[in-house]
Structure 1
């Protein structure tokens, strides 16, 4: 586990698999995604290193239902008065009411998925969803965090945009791998992902916090250039 400072109030926690983000509004913490099911102790330790406690977590915002993004949500929901949020279309999967649909793999992705199959992720335990989000909703952190529906990676994927500080949490709609900004892989609807990527590329953003890879500096220009090249 490693902690990367992005801004004084924003840190990325790099987990054994994947990553998540901590936003600190004067001690009221918002987590964006929660890693895999075994990530709870590492996230708690990261908060301790940041001088915070688990009972200061007020919100957990889940960008989509995949197990590397909502795996530890059920554990974190028990830390105190934590409001768990996800898009309306993801909520039944996160609650465990229905299974999540598998991606529509490209040939290249199928080979990559077989390679990753040696590192199977633990299933995400069912977790309550206290607030079902819709496109255009505003969440109370970072001066007002705007929910952007980004269907494609999953039906109910979301990004979260903080216009004031110029921060964008992209979920898996955007990846940043080997210095390249690109749409994420393992999508349910590739065309939908490209449309959602283009929508995010039109935002005024200083830094983009992606689901996989390093945060993107000068993100507005980087996303626009990547979208133009698709």
Structure 2
């Protein structure tokens, strides 16, 4: 699914319950996250939908390097000759996207939360079991503005992964939250603002603590890595996520 202008100059590609965002300005396009292997074709069509070509893409920026966010990054790097950018603490995970720390056994979730099974099935069809990592990653530290279209300010929001980052676009009143806060948890199928369950989160306490950086932006538009965009204010979304707690 493609949705134009989910925030000013930011477009959403939703595929297999994972969101990829296209951030455009006069200098070109930044692709935020890359979904699964099969997401690649959807991103190319999304670029066409906004009248852009693949050679307008200046960079792919990863909020984090789990397999469902890095799935097309290797192909984008090779086909488009663009840098893949990520926090330095994501370097290993970008190359090995299945080797991530998590708090709880993933196998119990389909039994406890059977509503997640269709979500998982869509992910498998999209290539979730065959993701190849990317070794060539341009690293950043967090706290800086990236010199890519949209000039996002990097907010280091560890917890889901150790190098997880959100991207704040102050001139667009928007924060791209990645999986720091989502409106659909793929492992429980629960909807509404929340952190991702312990099946895929390294440290839930740290993830909840990191939400303050997102709330402090005061952004109206919050664009999550999974689920529908939230336009009721980042602070309100964070309050609901804190109330929901870990799962």
TM-score, structure 2 length as denominator? 0.82
1:76, CA displacement in angstroms? 1.0
Q: Are the aligned partners of 1:84 and 1:129 in contact in 2 as well (CA < 8 Å)?
A: yes
SS in 1 for 2:52: coil
CA-to-partner distance for each residue in 1:7-53, whole Å, 9 max, x for gaps? 35110011134110001112501000010122111111111122111
**How well do the aligned residues superpose, as a CA RMSD in angstroms?**
2.6
> Per-residue deviation at 1:143?
5.2
Q: Give 1:66 deviation, angstroms.
A: 0.8
1:152–1:189 contact (8 Å) kept in structure 2: yes
TM-score between the two structures when normalised by the length of structure 1: 0.87
> How many residue pairs get matched?
229
Q: Show the counterpart of 2:104.
A: 105
Shift of 1:138: 1.3
Q: Is the 8 A contact 2:58 2:83 kept in 1?
A: yes
Q: With CA pairs under 8 Å and 6+ residues apart, which has the higher RCO, 1 or 2?
A: 2
Closer/same/farther in 2, CA of residues 190 and 12 from structure 1, 3 Å limit: same
Q: In the alignment, which residue of structure 1 is the partner of 2:187? A: none
Residue from 156, 161, 166 that aligns with 1:159: 166
Matching residue within 139, 147, 150 for 2:154 = 147
Q: Give the 4+ runs in structure 1 shifted more than 3 A.
A: 106-120, 227-230
- Call closer, same or farther: CA 1:191–1:224 in 2, change over 3 Å: closer
Cα deviation for residue 228 of structure 1 reads 6.0
Deviates more, 1:121-130 or 1:36-45: 121-130
Unpaired stretches in structure 2, ≥5 consecutive residues = 185-189
SS of the aligned residue for 1:69 comes to coil
* Among candidates 183, 187, 190, match of residue 195 of structure 2: 183
CA–CA distance in structure 2, aligned partners of residues 190 and 8 of structure 1 = 31
Whether the aligned pair in 2 keeps the contact of 1:152 and 1:190 (CA below 8 Å) is: yes
Q: For residue 210 of structure 2, give the secondary structure of its aligned residue in structure 1.
A: helix
Which of the two has greater strand per residue? 1
Moved more, 42-51 or 28-37: 42-51
1:55-66 matches, cutoff 5 A:
55-66=55-66
Q: Distance in 1 between matches of 2:157 and 2:138?
A: 18
CA distance in 1, matches of 2:42, 2:150: 27
Provide structure 1 residue ranges, at least 5 long, that are not aligned to the other structure.
Answer: none
Residue 75 of structure 1 corresponds to 75
Tell me if the contact between 1:37 and 1:67 (Cα under 8 Å) persists in the aligned partners: no
